């Protein structure tokens, strides 16, 4: 047990070192940690119920108030507190991003690993399947899925996962093909390792930088995708996300007047997505050492 | 009884042409005849060298002997049992009993494994030892190959020199007490000054631990130095086999003669004998019948292009597969200007 | 013809600096094959790159003197060097020359391009010249229209030599020309290089780790170790009467089919880390004949015979050392 703990600790320390090696990715890491904290402590951070209709100090309904001491991020047309909405939305967006990012990298990595390692007919089958997924346009796909099953957060995650895994599968397959040629794989075979042992104990650790790179890409992708789908009105109406807030604004028709209502969710999306991309840049250097000299 | 008996071992690979090309040219699929009808035996504790140029089938032979690849025909008998029929526990036992050592000390060790895990891989993969027994075995084996275990178990491959890595590679093969070690050019990528120490180690351990060794190389001078017997291969066929002295001083097959004559010798006063061979090295793709060396040989008779020459004895352990041998010295002495 | 003295090269990597070459002299006469032999990391490739100005910017290169055919190359600027010296006067057959051809162009066209890039030659004239060069290196002129993948390893190597010969340079530098070639192909290539030398009077600087190749080709040899020249002598002298313990060790370690009974002896330890300053002799840590003085001061490269120099403090005892060096026991402890 202690061996595993030590391994995990060593690995985490290495990841930390990689991310800290680059100034932009350090900034990215800070943003991500901030978003995670907000998501984790959301219930305690929210000053109001995000669905409550609020009155200002003057006793009037706080409709479309611009940011002030009372409502730091302003209010909506329905006199709801945007700060509370943003906190709740951060939690939902981060959850959707993480869950769909992790599930999609899990699927993509396994499909890529199996296709690349076994090759032949298995590879052919899995890669043609991936090609078919590549042929699916995202928005029509999610629209059909949601009109079939309803606007539920889990169907949105499902839709994102079904689309996002394809890129990671291809990249992992290519890298697996390259690693398969290395002599240490012949070494493992000669020592009697089974196919599964070779794939998951010998090849997978060497894919780690690439996996982390694509995890972070996939999470970013999932967040952007969720935001677009929600903005178009295919989000879960019961759960605030940044996309849902933007959609509410659009429906209210105040896009031109209430700048704050637009600014916060837009800023949040841009910041978190670019933070993820910055962090992944650090891994890109590790996964592809030739970039180091640039 | 011999530890290893190989009989008629053959491995062909089909090259499937792309569909379009097949339709356009109506060509047949080609066949790479990587190993053709190999027969030899190996005694316990013996070191057999296999020498040949690229494409001669040395590496395919390695893989076949270690059962990492299956032959198209022929048999390998290890310790009296047919390797092709092994399964279950017997196969696991065989996997432990036959181990390989690789050429490239920089590529053959997984960069994400520490020395301990590298050496422990075979017993772990084969489920042979408990963790405590394993720790003791790893330490003992590292000591055996001349590395102080305590200093090395925590290291990663990039923290070691080429020689140290190759010792780790050897330890990882020896930990399961193999009876046959197949070494594929284990020193060709090491610095000249330390090569001999790895050779010494292998030879010394093979005597102490009683394992046989098949040593594959393109460098005849190294083989001649450590092997009990040397086998020469050309394009998948076994050309000649004998003691190092047989091969180097009394080569019978014209290819062996050319190979011996071409070996670089570190002596400025050395006068190289003429090398009698024509044409270029081909690949064993759809080779013609008969002796594969015939197109480059200066002594061919009709039979060479028709029948595969059988191995004939030229000494107690010395076999050569040539229709024409022995070639009379005067006949061999004719001056032939070989195209360069 | 080429005189370079006190070559020093250091690479800056991360925080430390690596002394790849530390005061090496190199002299090459006309119509001479000079070999440099050494193990990986001894600085032999750095030497080539320093001479041809091919080192990356992270490297600092210093010479006390660098003259070529009476021309002071230290005063030659980058452009002039590339235009007038490189290829025309000093040509390089790079390491892994077999992979240096561009796979998407025909071999002949690539050499024609190289010639036209360095001189105002018409396409037809350049083509004739390539046909001539192909003949010199023993390739049929028809092969000019083929692609690199249609060539064997030995043929590609010869095509690269043809390219190097284009302007009949006074010096051809060959970096590990035989590495990765099969024995018979290697023998043919070396024979071909000797034949070429009979027709084209170029000098050759031959860099290799293979003592046998050096023994076969070189007139003079330099033994490089840890960025320093250990011994420097005419080939036969180096082989018959080596002075430096490292040379003695190398000779012991190299197998020969002419001496089947001779036991191979390796040199214990490994080369010093050049990122740390090397005090005294670079070989001291591995030398069985080491004295305290060897670790303190760096032995100078002293003349020990006609054109024969060795950097060993105990050169006067060379006879005794040679005898002891033949014993395996000497190299153990």
Dump pLDDT digits (tens) for A52-91.
888 877 878 878 888 888 888 888 888 888 899 999 999 9
Contacts of B125 in chain A (CB under 8 A): 188, 191-194, 197
Of C183, C235, C254, the CB nearest to B218: C183
> What is the model's pLDDT at position B339?
42
Q: What's the average model confidence in pLDDT over C67-83? A: 87
**Closest listed residue to residue B303, CA positions, set B284, B289, B313:** B289
The CA-based angle B326-B329-B330, given to 5 degrees, is 125
Per mean pLDDT, which of A111-120, C83-92, C137-146 is the most reliable?
Answer: A111-120
Is the pLDDT at C13 greater than 80? The verdict is no
Which chain B residues in 203-242 lie under 8 Å from chain A, judged by CB atoms?
none
Cβ separation C255–B270 shorter than 8 A: no
CA distances from C298 to A146, B89, C37, C271 (A): 80, 62, 21, 16
Of C40, C183, C209, the CB nearest to B262: C183
> What is the model's pLDDT at position B330?
44
> What is the model's pLDDT at position B22?
66
Supply B256's token pair: 């062996």
The pLDDT mean for chain C works out to: 89
In A, what residues contact B, Cβ < 8 A?
182-184, 186-194, 197, 202, 205-206, 208
Is the pLDDT at B340 greater than 50? The verdict is no
CA A34/CA A25 separation, integer angstroms:
14
> What is the model's pLDDT at position A289?
57
> What is the model's pLDDT at position A37?
94
Contacts of B283 in chain C (CB under 8 A): none
The pLDDT mean for chain B works out to: 89
Q: Which residue has the higher pLDDT, B282 or A111?
A: A111
- Residue C18, SS3 per DSSP: strand
In B, what residues contact C, Cβ < 8 A?
53-54, 161-163, 191-200, 218-222, 224-225, 244-245, 248, 258-270, 272, 275, 277, 280-281, 340
- What chains are in contact with A, requiring at least 3 Cβ pairs below 8 Å? B
Q: What's the average model confidence in pLDDT over B242-256? A: 93
Q: Which of B106, B146, B267 to mutate to test the interface with C (most CBs of C within 10 A)?
A: B267
For the ranges B243-252, C195-204, C239-248, which has the lowest average pLDDT? Answer: C195-204
pTM to 2 decimals? Answer: 0.87
CA of A16, closest CA in chain B: separation in Å? Answer: 17
In C, what residues contact B, Cβ < 8 A?
39-40, 138, 152, 154, 182-188, 191-192, 195, 209-213, 215-216, 235-236, 239, 249-258, 260, 264-268, 270-271, 286
pLDDT class of B25 with cuts at 50, 70, 90? low
CA A174/CA A116 separation, integer angstroms:
7
> What is the model's pLDDT at position C96?
78
- In this structure, which long-range contacts are made by residues B89-94, counting pairs with CB atoms below 8 Å and at least 24 apart in sequence? B91/B67, B92/A192, B92/B126, B92/B127, B94/B67
Contacts of B95 in chain A (CB under 8 A): 192
Residues 6+ apart with CB under 8 A from A290: none
CA of C186, closest CA in chain B: separation in Å? Answer: 8
CA A228/CA B271 separation, integer angstroms:
80
> What is the model's pLDDT at position B335?
41
pLDDT class of C57 with cuts at 50, 70, 90? confident
> What is the model's pLDDT at position C106?
92
Closest chain A CA to residue B120? A191
Is the pLDDT at B72 greater than 90? The verdict is yes
Is the pLDDT at A291 greater than 60? The verdict is no
Is the pLDDT at C271 greater than 70? The verdict is yes
pLDDT class of C259 with cuts at 50, 70, 90? confident
Cβ separation A192–B122 shorter than 8 A: yes
Q: Are C223 and C244 in contact (CB under 8 A)?
A: yes
> Per this entry, what is the length of chain A?
294
CA B291/CA B300 separation, integer angstroms:
9
Interface size between B and C, measured as CB pairs under 8 A: 126
Cβ separation B108–A183 shorter than 8 A: yes
Is the pLDDT at B94 greater than 70? The verdict is yes
Q: Are C214 and B229 in contact (CB under 8 A)?
A: no
Cβ separation B265–C215 shorter than 8 A: yes
> What is the model's pLDDT at position B334?
44
- In this structure, which long-range contacts are made by residues C247-250, counting pairs with CB atoms below 8 Å and at least 24 apart in sequence? C247/C223, C247/C310, C248/C321, C248/C322, C248/C325, C249/B193, C249/C286, C249/C325, C249/C331, C250/B192, C250/B193, C250/C37, C250/C211, C250/C223
Cβ separation B92–A187 shorter than 8 A: no
CA B222/CA B195 separation, integer angstroms:
10
Contacts of A183 in chain B (CB under 8 A): 102-104, 107-108
Q: What's the average model confidence in pLDDT over B136-155? A: 94
B166 close contact with A: CB closer than 8 A: no
Between β-strands C220-225 and C33-37, what pairing exists: parallel, antiparallel or unpaired? Answer: parallel
Contacts of C212 in chain B (CB under 8 A): 264-266
pLDDT class of B274 with cuts at 50, 70, 90? confident
Torsion of CA C244, C247, C253, C254, to 10 degrees: -150
Per mean pLDDT, which of B107-121, C174-188, C249-263 is the most reliable?
Answer: B107-121
Cβ separation C258–B220 shorter than 8 A: no
The conformation of residue B30, written as its DSSP 8-state character, comes to: E
Contacts of B112 in chain A (CB under 8 A): 205-206, 208
CA B142/CA B171 separation, integer angstroms:
6
Element (H, E) at B231: strand B229-234
Element (H, E) at B111: none
**Closest listed residue to residue A194, CA positions, set B134, B68, B78:** B68
Between β-strands C2-13 and C59-62, what pairing exists: parallel, antiparallel or unpaired? Answer: antiparallel
CA C133/CA C135 separation, integer angstroms:
5
Sign of CA dihedral A87, A90, A92, A94: negative
Q: Are A161 and A103 in contact (CB under 8 A)?
A: yes
Cβ separation B264–C253 shorter than 8 A: no
- Residue B78, SS3 per DSSP: strand
Burial label for A115, CB within 10 Å (0-12, 13-18, 19+), is buried
Q: Are C25 and C228 in contact (CB under 8 A)?
A: no
């Amino acid at each position: 047990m202690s061996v595993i703990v030590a391994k995990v600790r060593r690995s985490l320390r290495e990841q930390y070192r990689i991310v800290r090696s680059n100034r932009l990715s350090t900034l990215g890491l800070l943003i991500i940690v901030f978003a995670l904290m907000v998501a984790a402590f959301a219930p305690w951070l929210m000053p109001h119920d995000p669905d409550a209709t609020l009155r200002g100090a003057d006793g009037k309904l706080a409709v479309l108030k611009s940011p002030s001491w009372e409502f730091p991020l302003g209010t909506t047309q329905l006199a709801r507190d945007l700060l509370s909405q943003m906190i709740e939305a951060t939690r939902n967006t981060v959850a959707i991003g993480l869950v769909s990012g992790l599930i999609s990298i899990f699927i993509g990595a396994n499909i890529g690993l199996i296709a690349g390692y076994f090759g032949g007919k298995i590879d052919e089958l899995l890669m043609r399947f991936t090609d078919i997924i590549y042929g699916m346009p995202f928005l029509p796909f999610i629209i059909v899925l949601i009109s079939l099953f309803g606007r539920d957060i889990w169907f949105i995650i499902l839709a994102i996962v079904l689309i996002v895994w394809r890129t990671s599968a291809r990249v992992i397959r290519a890298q697996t093909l390259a690693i398969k040629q290395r002599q240490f794989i012949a070494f493992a075979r000669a020592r009697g390792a089974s196919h599964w042992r070779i794939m998951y104990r010998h090849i997978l650790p060497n894919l780690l930088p690439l996996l982390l790179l694509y995890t972070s890409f996939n999470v970013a992708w999932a967040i952007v995708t969720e935001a677009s789908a929600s903005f178009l009105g295919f989000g879960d109406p019961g759960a605030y996300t940044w996309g849902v807030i933007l959609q509410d604004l659009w429906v209210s028709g105040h896009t031109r007047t209430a700048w704050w209502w637009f600014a916060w969710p837009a800023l949040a999306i841009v910041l978190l997505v670019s933070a993820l991309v910055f962090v992944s840049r650090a891994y890109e250097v590790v996964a592809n050492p030739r970039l180091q000299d640039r | 009884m011999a530890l290893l008996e190989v009989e008629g071992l053959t491995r062909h690979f089909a090259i499937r042409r792309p569909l379009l090309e097949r339709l356009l040219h109506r060509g047949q699929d080609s066949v790479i005849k990587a190993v053709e009808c190999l027969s030899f035996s190996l005694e316990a504790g013996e070191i057999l060298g296999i020498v040949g140029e690229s494409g001669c089938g040395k590496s395919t032979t390695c893989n076949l002997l270690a059962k990492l690849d299956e032959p198209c025909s022929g048999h390998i008998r290890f310790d009296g049992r047919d390797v092709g029929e092994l399964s279950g526990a017997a196969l696991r036992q065989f996997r432990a009993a036959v181990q390989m050592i690789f050429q490239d000390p920089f590529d053959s060790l997984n960069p994400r494994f520490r020395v301990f895990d590298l050496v422990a891989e075979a017993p772990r993969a084969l489920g042979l030892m408990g963790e405590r027994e394993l720790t003791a075995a790893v330490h003992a084996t590292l000591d055996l190959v001349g590395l102080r275990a305590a200093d090395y178990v925590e290291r990663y491959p990039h923290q070691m020199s080429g020689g140290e890595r190759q010792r780790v590679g050897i330890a990882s093969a020896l930990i399961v007490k193999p009876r046959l070690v197949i070494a594929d050019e284990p020193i060709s990528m090491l610095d000249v000054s330390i090569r001999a120490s790895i050779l010494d180690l292998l030879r010394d351990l093979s005597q102490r631990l009683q394992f046989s060794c098949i040593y594959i190389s393109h460098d005849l001078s190294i083989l001649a130095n450590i092997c009990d017997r040397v086998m020469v291969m050309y394009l998948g066929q076994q050309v000649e086999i004998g003691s190092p002295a047989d091969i180097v001083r009394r080569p019978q097959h014209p290819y062996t003669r050319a190979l011996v004559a071409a070996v670089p010798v570190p002596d400025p006063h050395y006068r190289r004998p003429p090398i009698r061979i024509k044409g270029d090295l081909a690949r064993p793709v759809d080779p013609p019948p008969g002796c594969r060396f015939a197109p480059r040989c200066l002594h061919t008779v009709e039979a060479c292009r028709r029948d595969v020459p059988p191995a004939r004895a030229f000494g107690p352990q010395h076999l050569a597969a040539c229709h024409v041998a022995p070639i009379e010295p005067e006949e061999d002495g004719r001056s032939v200007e070989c195209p360069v | 013809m080429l005189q370079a003295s006190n070559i020093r090269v250091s690479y800056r990597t991360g925080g430390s600096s690596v002394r790849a070459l530390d005061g090496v002299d190199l002299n090459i006469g006309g119509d001479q094959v000079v070999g440099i032999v050494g193990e990986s990391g001894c600085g032999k490739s750095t030497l080539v790159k320093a001479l041809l100005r091919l080192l990356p910017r992270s490297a600092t290169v210093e010479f006390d003197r660098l003259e070529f055919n009476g021309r002071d190359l230290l005063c030659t600027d980058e452009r002039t060097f590339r235009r007038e010296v490189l290829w025309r006067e000093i040509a390089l057959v790079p390491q892994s020359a077999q992979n240096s051809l561009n796979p998407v162009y025909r071999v002949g066209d690539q050499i024609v391009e190289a010639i036209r890039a360095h001189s105002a030659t018409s396409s037809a004239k350049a083509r004739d010249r390539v046909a001539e060069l192909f003949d010199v290196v023993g390739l049929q002129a028809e092969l000019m229209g083929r692609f690199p993948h249609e060539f064997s390893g030995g043929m590609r190597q010869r095509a690269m030599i043809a390219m190097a010969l284009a302007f009949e340079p006074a010096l051809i530098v060959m970096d590990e020309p035989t590495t990765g070639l099969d024995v018979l192909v290697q023998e043919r290539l070396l024979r071909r290089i000797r034949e070429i030398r009979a027709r084209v009077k170029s000098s050759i600087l031959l860099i290799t780790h293979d003592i046998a190749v050096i023994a076969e080709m070189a007139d003079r040899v330099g033994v490089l170790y840890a960025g320093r020249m250990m011994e420097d002598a005419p080939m036969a002298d180096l082989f018959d009467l080596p002075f430096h313990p490292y040379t003695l060790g190398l000779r012991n370690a190299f197998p020969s089919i002419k001496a089947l009974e001779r036991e191979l002896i390796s040199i214990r330890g490994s080369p010093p880390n050049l990122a740390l300053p090397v005090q005294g002799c670079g070989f001291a840590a591995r030398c069985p004949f080491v004295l305290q003085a060897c670790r303190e001061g760096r032995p100078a490269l002293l003349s020990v015979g006609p054109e024969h120099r060795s950097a060993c403090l105990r050169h006067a005892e060379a006879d005794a050392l040679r005898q002891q060096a033949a014993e395996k026991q000497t190299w153990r402890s």
